[in-house]
Structure 1
Amino acid sequence: MGTIILETERLCLREFHVEDADFILKLVNSPNWIKFIGDKGVKTIEDAISYLVDGPIKSYKENGFGLWLVQLRDSKVPIGMCGLVNREILEDVDIGFALLPDYMNKGYGFESANAVMNYAKNVLKISRIVAITDEDNTSSIKLLQKLGLSLEKKLVLSDADSVFLFSPSDNF
């Protein structure tokens, strides 16, 4: 049911597949996703399938990594996504994460993101991982700092959009 990438004490991260469209529809339309990441226009199951095929699934083929589904290890209940993104706007690979509201503030974000950072460094041999986040997303900022990333600069993406770029304080 999708290639398992890594497991932690409480979580399992695996590749997305089109059968995860229901979950994606729920996640990308959750309040914090809309507020901090933006409306991706994913309103139907067909939209969610396209999002998966053109996003994470395409990234697995092109980069050997991508955003992975985060699920509870024992029950297999999907709770979010976490993984690596190769964006054209950034020089480095960045880490991304999002959880459904019911699973926030329980340590799952750090647990999954820390495991992804270690996987990137030790398995994929990626020398530098950065992150971008909305400047008002204090939860994300705290998590990035806990991962050892520091605010490097504000990136202006367009007249109406800017984000904070976080990078390793040392050599990752």
Structure 2
Amino acid sequence: MTPKLNSKNYIIRAFKYSDLQTFADYRARPEVAQFQSWSSYVLEDAISLFENIDYKNFAVAGNWYQLAITDIQTDNILGDLAVYFIDDQQVEIGFTIAPEFQKQGIAFEAINCLLTYLFTELKIHRIIAITDANNTASYKLLEKIRFRKEAHFIQNVFFKGVWGDEFQYALLSTEFK
């Protein structure tokens, strides 16, 4: 069962159908899509993603789960977290915040809440995050959370018509405080 996590200001939970239009709207914005795998995003894409997530079997290795970040007072969606269970001990995360809510500490607080759950409740050993080397906001946030840069992959991904670099960051349970 997908957890419902509360931080001081936010709730991290499974998506609901009523979230999907807002989710699709911010994913469709060029400044969001710039570092993502899609160029355009519509409601049908959000519905397809939602219908293919098995929230009942959360934390199964080999599966991605998308979690909504919502305001604790209003339940309005502010962004999302992606969680991929590589195996029983390793997880990859990703994050997207709607542009109007960026630079407000939302991702920092939400990711720390998720990390606490993954490390303390699920006893995950290692969490990674991969980001475009040009996505300064993303890798600066990971460094602020104390992820360690493990790799700089040079022209490892053909992305939107050009070869690009990626950084891989990681954090061990013993490094998380």
What range is the shorter-chain TM-score in? 0.7 to 0.9
Instruction: Name 2:7's counterpart in structure 1.
Output: 8
Q: Which has the higher strand share?
A: 2
How far apart are 1:137 and its partner, in Å? 0.9
Which residue identity lines up with residue 35 of structure 2 in the other structure?
A: F
Measure the CA separation in 2 of the matches of 1:87 and 1:161.
23
| Pick aligned residue for 1:146 from 137, 144, 147 | 144
CA distance in 2, matches of 1:114, 1:39: 26
Q: Structure 1 stretches (4+) deviating beyond 4 angstroms? A: none
TM-score by length of 2: 0.81
Aligned residues: 166
Query: Which residue is 2:59 aligned to?
Result: 63
Q: Is contact 2:14-2:55 (8 Å) kept?
A: no
Question: Which runs of structure 2 are paired with 1:42-81 in the superposition (5 Å)?
Answer: 42-43=41-42, 45-54=43-52, 57-58=53-54, 61=57, 63-64=59-60, 66-81=65-80
Letter in structure 2 aligned against 1:61: N
Q: How does 1:74-93 map to 2 (within 5 A)?
A: 74-86=73-85, 92-93=90-91
Cα distance change, pair 150–12 in 1 and its aligned pair in 2 (3 A) = same
User: 1:124 offset after TM fit, Å?
Assistant: 1.3
Moved more, 59-68 or 25-34: 59-68
Q: Is the 8 A contact 2:126 2:172 kept in 1?
A: no
**Structure 2, unaligned stretches of length 5 or more?**
none
Which residue of 2 is the match for residue 165 of structure 1?
168
State the match for 1:111 in structure 2: 109
* CA–CA separation in structure 2 for the residues paired with 1:138 and 1:77: 27
* CA RMSD between the two structures: 2.7
CA distance in 2, matches of 1:83, 1:11: 16
Cα separation, 2, equivalents of 1:95 and 1:15 = 15
The aligned residue for residue 123 of structure 1 is 121
Structure 1 residue identity aligned to 2:59: N
